[in-house]
């Protein structure tokens, strides 16, 4: 529908690709979820803490993210999921469980609460794969990139939204993320950040939204006015055709954002919406504030904004820009505290803080970026599920030697018993890429650590679960091979369940230890 993005996209993506490549190659900062830094409307209605106080797990695939959600005791058990690597359609499958409701081809946060998803290490990229939040509350998404999510063409995901929220969503903080497309609706893309059907108390902070026909919306239609209480601050909107954002009803607060190359329109307040627009910097853009494409008016309160090379068109019919000299036509009361950077320094501050892999830097209102102290350093409890560490081989007696073994299936020429024979030259493989193998004893045995050794030529384990086969309880989950520790469990049978893999895994040894 709108092609201005596509017209200039090649040059912008060429420059952006160099920046992104350098960022991925050079970044070594391990980010942590700074839940103490939540701001804006996400601080209201009881606040937003995400997975604070719960377990911290690692995930390198979409399936592992889903598995972490499904391995919780309940759908509200707090959890922080640290993500590193590229999440895509090839490694994101549906996982079932009583504490989750997931789907393939999308990161599904549905009918759950108390979750943090945070990118760590060299970064987390959700490639052509959207994040869908539905009927959920108390969610934090931080330090990730979501790119090129399509609603038409192939592959499709999440209705074309990079991050989409709908159906009774409450208290979401999205922080230091990069959301980007490669064109507009005619190229198969939709919104970067959409909220609809009764979504409230949301903050989008220190993020980059770029190269899209549509930045995002609050409300799916003129009648969907049940959304609101949304804060946008210290974000960069760059090369966006419209919807920066589109507001249908409700209240929104925009402060200290940098709007650059809004090609057709910017903040579109309509259908009774009220926007408080403070100390933003609008640059090289057109019709950055007003009521557009409807006769149902919206309202705004403005102050301290800079309009740098902004053009304004004439008012006509359903096209009603606020300029060329925007003035307030409503008053909006903000219930939370906030400190404004001067509008003139916003481009510099936002450039240094906004987006993924920026070290979670923030501004304190002094126009100088600050590095926050980590509030969640990651897995520290040895009983928490973590990625296995192949560089930390266990010590003590391998309890699997002499134990029995069985499983769900085995490839031709392999044996379940090969995982307990102490010989790394023999192995078990499932008949496909996924399956399970178990170690069992005649009497209850205490196990607190497992070491998975792969044979030469093995495929990669994308996601797994360790199960207490006696009770069905999940002892640990993760990806890859090596050592993983968990709370000591007394059991007669322990199962390694491989739920996602690249190639065919070859399990040479399934070692078990008491400590």
Residues annotated as catalytic (active site), given as ranges: 243
Q: Is 298 helix (H, G, I), strand (E, B) or coil?
A: coil
**Rounded-to-integer distance, Cα 403 and Cα 450, Å:** 14
Task: Say which DSSP state 106 is in.
Answer: S
Provide the phi-psi class of 351: left if phi over 0, else alpha when psi is between -120 and 50, else beta.
alpha
Instruction: Return the structure tokens found at 223.
Output: 């009648």
| Distance separating the N- and C-terminal Cα atoms of the chain | 61
Question: Could you tell me if 360 and 380 are in contact, meaning their C-beta atoms sit under 8 angstroms apart?
Answer: no
Measured CA distances, 213 to 34, 185, 189, 210, 367 (Å): 31, 6, 8, 9, 30
CB-neighbour burial class of residue 86 (10 A; exposed 0-12, middle 13-18, buried 19+): middle
**Rounded-to-integer distance, Cα 423 and Cα 76, Å:** 43
Q: In this structure, how many other beta carbons lie within 10 angstroms of the beta carbon of residue 449? A: 22
Task: Say which DSSP state 62 is in.
Answer: H
Strands 281-286 and 258-262: parallel
CA 422 to chain centre: 41
Question: Could you tell me if 299 and 277 are in contact, meaning their C-beta atoms sit under 8 angstroms apart?
Answer: no
**Rounded-to-integer distance, Cα 501 and Cα 237, Å:** 38
Question: Could you tell me if 57 and 85 are in contact, meaning their C-beta atoms sit under 8 angstroms apart?
Answer: no
Strands 131-134 and 79-87: unpaired
SS3 string, 318-382, reads: CEEECCCCCCCCCCCCCCCCCCCCCHHHHHHHHHHHCCCCCCCCEECCCCCEECCCCCCCCCCCC
Q: Could you give phi then psi for residue 43, rounded to 5 degrees? A: -85, -10
């Amino acid at each position: 529908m709108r092609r201005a993005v596509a017209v200039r996209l090649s040059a912008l993506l060429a420059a952006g690709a160099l920046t992104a490549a350098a960022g991925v190659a050079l970044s070594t900062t391990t980010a942590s979820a700074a839940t103490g830094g939540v701001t804006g409307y996400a601080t209201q209605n009881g606040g937003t803490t995400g997975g604070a106080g719960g377990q911290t797990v690692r995930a390198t695939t979409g399936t592992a993210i889903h598995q972490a959600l499904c391995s919780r005791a309940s759908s509200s058990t707090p959890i922080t999921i640290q993500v590193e690597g590229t999440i895509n359609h090839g490694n994101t499958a549906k996982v079932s469980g009583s504490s989750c409701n997931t789907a393939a081809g999308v990161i599904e946060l549905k009918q759950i609460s108390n979750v943090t998803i945070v990118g760590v290490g060299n970064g987390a990229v959700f490639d052509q794969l959207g994040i869908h939040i539905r009927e959920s509350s108390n969610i934090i998404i931080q330090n990730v990139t979501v790119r090129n999510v399509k609603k038409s063409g192939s592959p499709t995901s999440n209705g074309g939204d990079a991050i989409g929220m709908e159906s009774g969503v409450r208290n979401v903080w999205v922080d230091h993320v990069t959301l980007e497309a490669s064109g507009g609706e005619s190229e198969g893309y939709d919104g970067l950040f959409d909220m609809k059907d009764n979504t409230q108390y949301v903050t989008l902070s220190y993020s980059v939204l770029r190269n899209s026909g549509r930045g995002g919306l609050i409300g799916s239609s003129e009648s969907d006015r049940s959304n609101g209480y949304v804060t946008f601050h210290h974000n960069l909107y760059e090369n966006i055709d419209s919807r920066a954002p589109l507001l249908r009803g409700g209240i929104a607060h925009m402060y200290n954002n940098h709007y650059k190359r809004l090609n057709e329109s910017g903040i579109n307040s309509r259908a009774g919406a009220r926007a408080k627009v403070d100390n933003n910097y609008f640059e090289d853009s057109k019709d950055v504030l007003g009521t557009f494409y409807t006769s149902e008016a919206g309202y705004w309160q403005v102050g301290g904004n800079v309009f740098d090379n902004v053009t304004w068109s004439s008012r006509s019919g359903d096209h009603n820009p606020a300029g060329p000299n925007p003035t307030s036509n409503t008053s909006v009361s903000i219930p939370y505290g906030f400190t404004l950077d001067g509008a003139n320094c916003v481009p510099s501050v936002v450039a240094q803080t906004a987006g993924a892999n920026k070290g979670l830097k923030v501004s304190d209102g002094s126009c100088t970026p600050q590095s926050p102290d980590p509030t969640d350093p990651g897995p520290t409890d040895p009983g928490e599920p973590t990625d296995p560490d192949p560089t930390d081989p266990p010590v003590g007696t391998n309890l699997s030697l002499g134990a029995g073994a069985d499983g769900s299936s085995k490839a031709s020429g392999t044996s379940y018993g090969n995982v307990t024979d102490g010989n790394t030259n023999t192995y078990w493989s499932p008949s496909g890429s996924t399956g399970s193998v178990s170690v069992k004893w005649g009497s209850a045995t205490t196990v607190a650590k497992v070491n998975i050794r792969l044979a030469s030529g093995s495929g990669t384990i994308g996601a797994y679960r360790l199960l207490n086969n006696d009770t069905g309880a999940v002892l640990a989950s993760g990806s890859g091979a090596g050592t993983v520790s968990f709370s000591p469990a007394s059991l007669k049978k322990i199962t390694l369940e491989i739920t996602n893999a690249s190639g065919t895994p070859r399990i040479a040894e399934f070692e078990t230890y008491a400590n």
